[in-house]
Amino acid sequence: MRTIDPGKHAARRDAILAAARSCFARKGFHQTSTAAICAQAGMSPGNLFHYFPTKQAIIAAIVDQEGGETAAYFAGVQASDDAYGTLLDFMDLVLALAADADFAGLTLEIAAEAMRDTDIAARVARNDAVLRAGVQALLESAAARGQVDAALDPAQTAGWIAALIDGIFNRVAVDPHYAPPAQRASLHLLLARFLRPALA
Amino acid sequence: MRTIDPGKHAARRDAILAAARSCFARKGFHQTSTAAICAQAGMSPGNLFHYFPTKQAIIAAIVDQEGGETAAYFAGVQASDDAYGTLLDFMDLVLALAADADFAGLTLEIAAEAMRDTDIAARVARNDAVLRAGVQALLESAAARGQVDAALDPAQTAGWIAALIDGIFNRVAVDPHYAPPAQRASLHLLLARFLRPALA
């Protein structure tokens, strides 16, 4: 019986996901074959099957990987003393990710797939709930410190910030002149006007 | 030689586009065959070919149709005396369209396709420019009447409103509890805080 090295297995799995992300971002889920993913990852179809039984399983793993990264990000920043500054930092990270055409393309592809596949939709919904909870916690912490208007409903406000984040990724697809990093100042202005306590 | 009745031709073309929209919204572009569109439209593949040579031509026509509707909408509202109220009406229409799962699904599908197909991307960019120009004209008219803070850059602000619109359609895909019409009050609040002149 062959023994499995868990570290090696995880590394190989990550390499497959990285290869698949690159293929999916360029051609979309349904125009990418598992053969193309194998070629990109430099492995045989038989070997790929040890890690992921289907292409759908690879898509699901990519969505879950993004969810894990979002959860880790928010777990790492919730203790901040400057919750509003932390929120702005997060939005700057979103702009940086949107400037990566592969990342933006994959994000749109996942949203479109969620409309058609209930398993992907459930995983995407879980990730989205994690993101909104993380933003909501920052908003509540900022409101407690007087950095954000306490009259704003934190859950609904977090929903609008999530919509803005989605919208930033969409802009990359629909407006060829959209340069995410150049949006930073106007995004901070929008957030300040929307979130800051009204001047007395 | 057969003569073509232009009215009949246009009606048949519209019926094909409606059938294709419904197929694409449910299964996506690449998982929909032209045979499925023919079945939905109740016509033969040979007949479909008289109207659209390829599936890609149908997708392009759907995108152009949406662009035409956007242009007609803004052409009809620019003379309004209450530009801010007109903008809110438009955002209410967006919420109504987002509540239509087929419309929302097709919107996401088109954005994802624009990342992969340069012809679709050019058509989507044209539509997006029409939408942003329409919103910008409303913002400028509202600013001239003191309804919107004249210090806000109208083009950049229109870009953020376009991002919000994109985000609303995305929310439908990623949050199963998102009910667009229930967002109306908080959307109006966000827009008021973002856009209204600061109180002196």
Q: Tens digits of per-residue pLDDT, B92-133? A: 999 999 999 889 999 999 999 998 899 999 999 999 999 999
pLDDT digits 0-9 by tens, A21-63: 999 988 889 999 999 999 999 999 889 989 999 999 999 999 9
pLDDT for A198 equals 77
CB B154 within 8 A of CB B132: no
Q: Which among A28, A173, A176 has the least Cβ separation from residue B30?
A: A28
Q: Inspect the interface and report whether the beta carbons of B156 and A28 lie closer than 8 Å.
A: no
Q: Inspect the interface and report whether the beta carbons of A27 and B111 lie closer than 8 Å.
A: no
Which amino acid, one-letter code, is at A128?
D
pLDDT for B200 equals 46
Contacts of A63 in chain B (CB under 8 A): none
Closest-CA distance of chain B to residue A81, Å? 26
CB A70 within 8 A of CB A131: yes
DSSP codes of every residue in chain B? -----HHHHHHHHHHHHHHHHHHHHHH-STT--HHHHHHHHT--HHHHHHH-SSHHHHHHHHHHHHHHHHHHHHHHHTT-S-HHHHHHHHHHHHHHHHTSHHHHHHHHHHHHHHTT-HHHHHHHHHHHHHHHHHHHHHHHHHHHTTSS-TTS-HHHHHHHHHHHHHHHHHHHHH-TT--GGGGHHHHHHHHHHHHSPPP-
pLDDT for B198 equals 77
Q: Inspect the interface and report whether the beta carbons of A111 and B168 lie closer than 8 Å.
A: no
pLDDT at A1 over 60: no
Contacts of B174 in chain A (CB under 8 A): 111, 114, 124-125, 127-128, 162, 166
- Higher per-residue confidence, A84 vs B5: A84
What CATH number is attached to the domain comprising B129? 1.10.357.10
A41 and A28 belong to one structural domain: yes
Instruction: Count the residues in chain B.
Output: 200
Q: Inspect the interface and report whether the beta carbons of A176 and B30 lie closer than 8 Å.
A: no
Q: How far apart are CA A96 and CA A174, in angstroms?
A: 17
Nearest chain A residue (CA) to B158: A186
Q: How far apart are CA B118 and CA B135, in angstroms?
A: 25
pLDDT for A97 equals 96
pLDDT at B4 over 80: no
ipTM confidence score:
0.92
A5 and A63 belong to one structural domain: no
Q: Inspect the interface and report whether the beta carbons of A164 and B168 lie closer than 8 Å.
A: no
CB A115 within 8 A of CB B101: yes
Q: Inspect the interface and report whether the beta carbons of B128 and A175 lie closer than 8 Å.
A: yes
- A78 domain-assigned: yes
Eight-class DSSP state of A115: T
Domain that holds residue B33: 1-53
B64 and B87 belong to one structural domain: yes
pLDDT at B6 over 90: no
Q: Inspect the interface and report whether the beta carbons of A166 and B166 lie closer than 8 Å.
A: yes
- Residue where one domain finishes, among candidates A53, A71, A92: A53
Residues with Cβ within 8 Å of residue A143, at least 6 apart in sequence: A149, A150, A152, A154
- The angle, 0 to 180 degrees and rounded to 10, between the axes of the packed helices B118-144 and B55-77 is 10
- B200 domain-assigned: no
- Residue where one domain finishes, among candidates A13, A30, A53: A53
What CATH number is attached to the domain comprising A32? 1.10.10.60
B48 and B110 belong to one structural domain: no
Contacts of B189 in chain A (CB under 8 A): 152
pLDDT for A130 equals 97
Eight-class DSSP state of A198: P
pLDDT-derived band of residue B2, with 50, 70 and 90 as boundaries?
A: low
Whole-number mean pLDDT of chain A?
Answer: 93
A42 and A74 belong to one structural domain: no
A49 and A128 belong to one structural domain: no
- A157 domain-assigned: yes
Nearest chain B residue (CA) to A123: B174
Q: Inspect the interface and report whether the beta carbons of A174 and B112 lie closer than 8 Å.
A: no
A72 and A151 belong to one structural domain: yes
Report in angstroms the alpha-carbon separations of B115 from A18, B108, B125, B141. Answer: 19, 11, 11, 33
A47 and A126 belong to one structural domain: no
Closest-CA distance of chain A to residue B121, Å? 7
pLDDT digits 0-9 by tens, B122-157: 999 999 999 999 999 999 999 999 999 999 999 999
- Residue where one domain finishes, among candidates A33, A53, A73: A53
> Hey, is A97 helix, strand or coil?
helix
Torsion of CA A127, A133, A137, A143, to 10 degrees: 120
CA A23, distance to chain mean position in Å, is 18
B109 and B186 belong to one structural domain: yes
- A200 domain-assigned: no
A191 and A103 belong to one structural domain: yes
The mean pLDDT value for A159-181 works out to: 95
- A143 domain-assigned: yes
Range from A110-119, A146-155, B7-16 that averages highest in pLDDT: A146-155
A27 and A72 belong to one structural domain: no
CB A188 within 8 A of CB B184: no
pLDDT at B187 over 90: yes
- The angle, 0 to 180 degrees and rounded to 10, between the axes of the packed helices A118-144 and A101-114 is 110
Q: How far apart are CA B179 and CA B182, in angstroms?
A: 6
Q: Which among A31, A124, A168 has the least Cβ separation from residue B174?
A: A124
CB B55 within 8 A of CB B62: no
pLDDT at A200 over 50: no
Number of domains in chain A: 2
B122 and B189 belong to one structural domain: yes
The mean pLDDT value for B162-190 works out to: 96
